[in-house]
Structure 1
Amino acid sequence: MWTAGLKAAAVAVAVVASASAAEARLTVCNRVSEPVKVALGVEEGDGWRSRGWWHIAPGECRALLDTDLKLLEYYLRAEPEEPGTGWGGDFPFCIDDKDFEIGGDTDCEARGHRTAGFFLLSTDGASSMTHNLTD
């Protein structure tokens, strides 16, 4: 049976654990007036991998990774939920219209995906960072 003291200790441990996890991650905040979807590209092992979509409402933030950032570079792409302009870049990765996780960044169309440009997000060695999407 849980006593009041044990419950308080368990809650304190849970708060400390979640606080440290909350501090170490890659977070994207939507600072525009429309919902967006975000995709992430990373180098894993000896290859590239892309995954998405994280859906973020206006004014909200979402953690794409909730562990310490180990890489110096991550790649992001964001698109509005409704067709329109988005945030892309010069680094091509494979994406799909629906939620996806794709290994490799070449021959996207031949493998049933499409190619889209991602932009570089440099961590400068930080273990945690937040990126704001703005107009």
Structure 2
Amino acid sequence: MKFLSITLLLAVSGAAGAAAQQRSETGFRVCNPSLREIEVAKALDTGASDAIGQIVISEGWYKLPPNACTLLWAGPLQYDRYLVYAQDKSTGREWTGTVPVCVSPQAFTIRTNNCGSQYQRRLFTQVDTRRQNGWTHNFTP
């Protein structure tokens, strides 16, 4: 399976693993305080629509090693809400929410909220950043 590469930014400290969400440096980071590698997908509801429907841009899969973080969106945050989902394929564990978003089993970028037969839906967690300059979301074990 082909995966998107990521740059590891820092190791997760015990304090970072304790909080599910917190302010951080500029950008939106996700951290994996668990002992297993996880795969992460991200999505953004653009607030726009086309002839088919609402435009949601989803992208994945980012491999995130244990005790590591990565930047999913760089720079000051321009939206109030960001969507994230993670899975541990070896155990079947998922970090889910309530917002249905299209994904694919292979590396993907999808620019619609209407899933065809080639896509699956996963329930993403909506993170309200209140347009802070930076945010960190931890996928707690």
TM-score normalised by the chain length of structure 2: 0.74
Instruction: State the match for 2:25 in structure 1.
Output: 23
Q: Is the 8 A contact 1:71 1:125 kept in 2?
A: yes
Structure-1 separation of matches of 2:85 and 2:137: 12
Q: Percent identity?
A: 27
Q: Is the 8 A contact 1:73 1:120 kept in 2?
A: yes
Amino acid at match of 1:30: N
Larger gyration radius, structure 1 or structure 2: 1
Q: Is the 8 A contact 1:109 1:115 kept in 2?
A: no
Q: In angstroms, what is the RMSD of aligned CA positions? A: 1.5
Local SS of the residue matching 2:133: coil
Q: 2:109 aligns with which of 101, 105, 109?
A: 101
- 2:117 equivalent to 1:115: no
Query: Which one has a larger percent helix, Structure 1 or Structure 2?
Result: 1
Between Structure 1 and Structure 2, how many residues are aligned?
112
For residue 127 of structure 1, report the CA deviation from its aligned partner: 1.5
Local SS of the residue matching 1:86: strand
| TM-aligned CA distance change 1:100 to 1:83, over 3 Å | farther
Query: Which one has a larger percent strand, Structure 1 or Structure 2?
Result: 2
Stretches (4+) displaced over 3 A: none
TM-score normalised by the chain length of structure 1: 0.77
Task: Work out which structure has the larger RCO, using CA pairs closer than 8 Å and 6 or more positions apart in sequence.
Answer: 2
Q: Which consecutive unaligned segments of at least 5 residues does structure 1 have?
A: 1-21
Instruction: State the match for 2:44 in structure 1.
Output: 42
